[in-house]
Structures are given as C-alpha cells and as structure tokens.
Structure 1
Amino acid sequence: MKNNIDFQSATVLDQAHTKNNKNLSKILLHILLIAGSFIMVFPFIWTILSSLKNMAQIFVIPPQWIPDPVMWSNYIDSLLAMPFGLAYFNSFYITVVIVLSTLITASMAAYAFAKINFKGANVLFILFLATMMIPKQVTMIPLYLVMDQLGWLDTHLSLVVPGALFNAFAVFLLRQFVMGIPRELEEAAIMDGAGYVRIYWNIILPLIRPALAAIAIFTFLQSWNNFLDPLIYLNTPEKFTVPILLNSFKGLYTANWPLMMAGTVISVIPVLIVYIFSQKQIIEGVAITGIKG
C-alpha cells in the first residue's frame, strides 16, 4: 500500500514537473517571438517617428525618440513637393493590370502544361522553369534594347508587358494545383460537350482559387514595391511610380529625410491595407508554396 502511494506521488510530481517545463518553454518561446517581432517592426516605427521630426531632430546625437515638436506638416509638404497623387495612380493601375494579367496568363499556361498533352510539353516546361535561375541583372541590358526597339522606353508598357506576360513562379505553382484536380471532372465535362475553354473557366479556375489568391497578393506586393524597372525605363516625372518618386527626395549632396520618411509612410498604406485584409491568404500562400513546391 505504501509503495502504491509513493508511486502515485512520484507520478504526480513528474506530471507537475513536466507541466512546469512546458509552461517555461512556452514563456521563453513567447519572449523570443516578442523580441523578434520588435526587431522586425522597429524600422517601420523609426520611419513613422522620423516622418514627424525636422531635419535637426533626425541627426541629433543621442537620438531623440519622441518628436518635439511634432511636424505633422511633413505629410502635407511631402504630398505637395512631388506629384504623389499621379504617382499613386500610376502605381495602382500598373499593379492592378499586372496582377489581373498574371492571373489569366499564368493560370492558362498552368492548365495547358498540366492537363493538355502536346508534343514537347515537358521540355518546354523545363525550359520555362530554367528562366527562374537566370539573375535579373543578366537580362536587364537585352530587355532594355528590346524596349528601345519597340519604342516603349519611358512608357508604362515597359513595366506592364514583361510583368504581366511572364511569371514562371506563378505558372509553376498553379500547375502543381491543376495537376491535383481529378481527371474524372474533365472527362465528365467533355462528355457534356465542354471544350478546353469551358473546362478552364468553369472547372479549373474555381478549384484553384486559393492558389490564385496567393499569387495575386505576392504579385501585388512585388509590383507595388518595384523600384529597379521604373528606374531603368522611365524618365518623365509624370510617369513615375511611388518608389521611384520617393527617390527624388534625394539630392546630389543631401536628402530631405523628413519628407522622404513621410512619403514612405504614405506609400506603405496600400501594402498595409492588403496585409490587414489578406493575412489569412498570405499565410496560406506561404504554406502553399512550401507544400506544393
């Protein structure tokens, strides 16, 4: 009897010890995650604080964390100093066109590679994927020469057409999803008299909606934050996008940092809106790329 009591007591102690260890691990994990989150969000917090300072406050040593006085006028001055409204419009419509075009072209290519048997499909798909291994720096000069021959330099076509018609990653991801669709659905549709277009529109697209949402979000973020391509192809300020317009606050010898920080905060607003309303899709998209890739 005494041995049973001792055994039960030892079991209870072991369970309590295990529970304490688990609680301690959770506490340490949360502390680590909070510290990591602060490190990640600190640059954005510093940008917001700097956008409310004057030039003297930004360069004061030791750093002045809280703006005093608070320069709310930096946001108005930033909007008035540069054609931000036009740049916003340019970035928005270019991004929307690229996103919609990418969804259409990538999903059509994915359906063709996954479900339509044609000669050389596998070889063509491998060559298509091989382009993902080519650094962008290698293609900049040839692409610039092509745009020059087409007369698309200093036009938005030089940004829209390459981004809208060619996204190897989107095609690869969507193809993996399309391959997972049962063949019986297509066979049933064919028996009902459906062709490739109807199968693509009524069967394929609805079933790959999660992947399309992930591709749309990633393409939006990439296109909105694109700095290099507008820098290469655009020369007229009226055609600038938001990232390239922000660079205009930098002069040859100095930069207006308060106005640049205010403009940066303004430019981040659409990205924050997309993230706030699409957190679930973004997380699912990251999981999708890991599972299907």
Structure 2
Amino acid sequence: MSAATPRMSPGRMLAWAALAGMLAFTLLPLLVVLKTALVPNATLFEQSATLWPHGATLDNFRRVLGLLSPEEGIALGGSGADVNFGRALMNSVVFTGVIVVMQTFCAAMAAYAFARLRFPGQRVLFGLFIASMMVPGVVTLIPNFVLLKQLGGLNTVAGMVAPFCLMQGFSVFFLRQFFLSIPRDIEEAALMDGASHFYVFWRIALPLSTTALATVAMLIGINMWNEFFWPYLVGRDDSLQVLPVALQTFKTQTPQGQPDWTGLMAAATVALLPTVLLMLAFGRRVVESVQYSGGK
C-alpha cells in the first residue's frame, strides 16, 4: 500500500510562493529585453504596455550581427552605426578564454602548494591571498595602466589579458579547500615511487578535481565576459572591442535623435546568451561544488 502524499504545510506553501515571486521578479527584466529585441523600432513605444512582441522580427539581430547594411538598418528605423558585433563576439571569446585557462591553471598550482606543501611563511602568504579578496580592482587600475603603457602594451591583446592571467584570491581559496578533501594515500604512494610534486599535481590532483576546476573556470569566465572598463581603457582600437565595449559604442549612436533601443536589446541578448546557457547547463554542479568545498 503506497503511502499517502503528505499535505503541504502553510509555511511551505508560503515559501514556494515567495520563491515564485522572486523568480518572476528576476525573469521580468529578461523578458522585457527579449521582447524589445524582437519588435520593430517603429512600433516599440506602441507596445510598451505588453510583454508579447506583436509583429516579431529578427531584423534587429540581423542588424547587430552585420547581416544588413547601414542603409538597410537606417531604413528599418535603427542605427547605421558601424559596430561589428560578430568581431566583438570573437574578441570576447578570445579575451575570456585566455584568461580562464591561465587564471585557472595558476590558481590550481597555488592552491595545490598551499594544500600539500609545507614551507616557511605558508600561513602568512595564504592570509595575503585571502586578504586580496577585500582589495577593490580599481585600486590597482592606475598602476597597471601606467606599467602597461611603459611596456608598450596598449592596444594589444596581451595588454588586455595580462592583469587577469595570474591567480586570484577566491580561486586559490576555493581550490585549496577542494584539494584538502582529496585523500593523500595515492599522492604519497606516487611520491614514494619517485614522482615529483608537479607530476602528482598534473597526473593525480587535477584529474580528481575536474568539477572544482570547471566551477572556478565558469565563475572566472562569467566575470571576464562582462568585463568592461579595462578592455575599454586598453583596447581602444575598434578591432579589439569586446562585447561590453561594443554595446557602449552602439548605445552612443542615436538615429533620429533617440537611442536604438531595439538594436541595443538585440545586442545585449547576444552578449547574455552564452552565460545563460552555461548556467543552465552547469548551474547545479556549480552550486554542489561550492557547497562541498565550502564545508571543508
């Protein structure tokens, strides 16, 4: 005889209702962005009171992806700005990808050293890494820019990615907590057989930490994908524009005396889509990995 389904208590119903309200409050801006991206410029303000796009069209996406000429864009009531979002998308992929690989690898090496090696000043140095999380990035902005200018790194891909390629405090702390949870038996056996610490790190520790590494890589990637100020400051050349900078450039173009809101929302949707897909695909693993490492 199957057990009867337990009745939901009033408190639980209230909690679910609150979660549903928070979800609706979170999704509402995204729905407005998507709806604005799908409507023609000429009817945008006529449809301001509804969330359903009447006369939906993909012309706004075609415009921002460079599939229409500037003249065709102006004819549709949009901007004729020469902003290549396809190139900006590729620049963002390169910018984010290089930083994710370099920063994750450097953070993993530092975290393994803090978790497994013993050396003088270890706790002090680890404390400095933790303290670095309290330092705003704007504090190091001017010194980094001056140094990069003296080295001739302005308007280069290397100059755009250099300040972010080394490890950051949170990544080191997160991976260290995960490495501490790995049993030492396999590593000690490898060391007794003559393996070096780097061999153990590369062949044993990293393969056992793929979930944590993927979590760190995703968090870094989302952060760097939305980075605006440093690429704007260093990569002033149009060929180096990343998506956030291209969005700002596109926003400044004002056809017929007003911003091209439909094109801007279409471009914002293109910029937002990769991070949304990543979180939908791996969000549960990220939460589980954070909970697991945070409990150690």
Name the TM-score, length of structure 2 as normaliser: 0.85
Q: What is the rounded CA distance, in whole Å, between the counterparts of 1:140 and 1:154 in structure 2?
A: 16
- CA positional deviation for 1:159: 2.7
Q: 1:186 to 1:290 in 2, by over 3 A?
A: closer
The reply on whether 1:110 has 2:111 as its aligned counterpart is: yes
The reply on whether 1:44 has 2:45 as its aligned counterpart is: no
Q: State whether residues 88 and 241 of structure 1, in contact with CA within 8 Å, keep that contact through their aligned partners in structure 2.
A: yes
Superposition RMSD in Å: 2.2
Which stretch has the larger CA shift, 130-139 or 62-71?
62-71
The residue identity in structure 1 corresponding to 2:63 is: D
Q: State whether residues 104 and 167 of structure 2, in contact with CA within 8 Å, keep that contact through their aligned partners in structure 1.
A: no
Q: State whether residues 144 and 163 of structure 2, in contact with CA within 8 Å, keep that contact through their aligned partners in structure 1.
A: no
Q: State whether residues 253 and 260 of structure 2, in contact with CA within 8 Å, keep that contact through their aligned partners in structure 1.
A: no
Q: Give the corresponding residue for 1:280.
A: 284
SS of the residue 1:281 aligns to: helix
Q: Give the corresponding residue for 1:249.
A: 250
The reply on whether 1:261 has 2:262 as its aligned counterpart is: no
Structure 1 runs of 4+ with >4 Å offset: none
The reply on whether 1:199 has 2:232 as its aligned counterpart is: no
SS of the residue 1:215 aligns to: helix
| Cα displacement string for residues 143-164 of structure 1 (whole angstroms, at most 9, x for unaligned residues) | 1111111211122222322212
Q: What is the rounded CA distance, in whole Å, between the counterparts of 2:286 and 2:189 in structure 1?
A: 33
Q: Structure 1: state its 5+ residue gaps.
A: 1-15
Equivalent residues, number: 274
| Cα displacement string for residues 203-227 of structure 1 (whole angstroms, at most 9, x for unaligned residues) | 2112222211110111111111111
Q: State whether residues 52 and 72 of structure 1, in contact with CA within 8 Å, keep that contact through their aligned partners in structure 2.
A: yes
Q: What is the rounded CA distance, in whole Å, between the counterparts of 2:193 and 2:146 in structure 1?
A: 49
Structure with greater proportional helix content: 1
Q: Structure 2: state its 5+ residue gaps.
A: 67-81
| Cα displacement string for residues 57-81 of structure 1 (whole angstroms, at most 9, x for unaligned residues) | 4445963433333242111112125
Match of 1:69 among 55, 70, 81: 55
SS of the residue 1:103 aligns to: helix
Q: What is the rounded CA distance, in whole Å, between the counterparts of 2:49 and 2:109 in structure 1?
A: 54
Q: What is the rounded CA distance, in whole Å, between the counterparts of 1:112 and 1:233 in structure 2?
A: 33
